[in-house]
Amino acid sequence: MRIVLNGLDLEIPADVCVAELLAQAGEYDTAAIVEVNGRFVRPRDYETTRLRDGDRVEFIHAAFGG
């Protein structure tokens, strides 16, 4: 199936959850925010939130500093 991840078209296997996508993408930033189709996904829901064909996923990293 195809999704859009951070603005890039990506082919992924069917029935992938957010946690699996994070691991496949090498995203291990525990402060990262995940959105699916513009909706925030709580970290506790990463294992149960399944992606569907055409979903738009964003990994957002907070910028800290001063």
What is the CATH number for 38?
3.10.20.30
Strand 39-41 relative to strand 2-5, pairing = unpaired
Q: Name 5's bridge partners.
A: 8, 57
Domain-located, residue 32? yes
- Confidence at residue 66, expressed as pLDDT on a 0 to 100 scale: 60
- Number of domains composing the chain: 1
Percent of the chain residues topping a pLDDT of 70: 95
- Let me know: does 17 contact 49? Beta carbons within 8 Å: yes
Domain-located, residue 66? no
- Tens digits of residue pLDDT in 22-31: 999 998 888 8
Domain-located, residue 35? yes
Domain-located, residue 42? yes
Nearest-angstrom CA–CA distance, 23 and 63:
21
Domain-located, residue 65? no
pLDDT digits (tens), the chain, 66 positions:
999 999 999 999 999 999 999 999 998 888 889 999 999 999 999 999 999 999 999 999 877 666
Backbone angles phi, psi at 32, to 5 degrees: -65, 145
49: domain range?
A: 2-60
- Confidence at residue 28, expressed as pLDDT on a 0 to 100 scale: 83
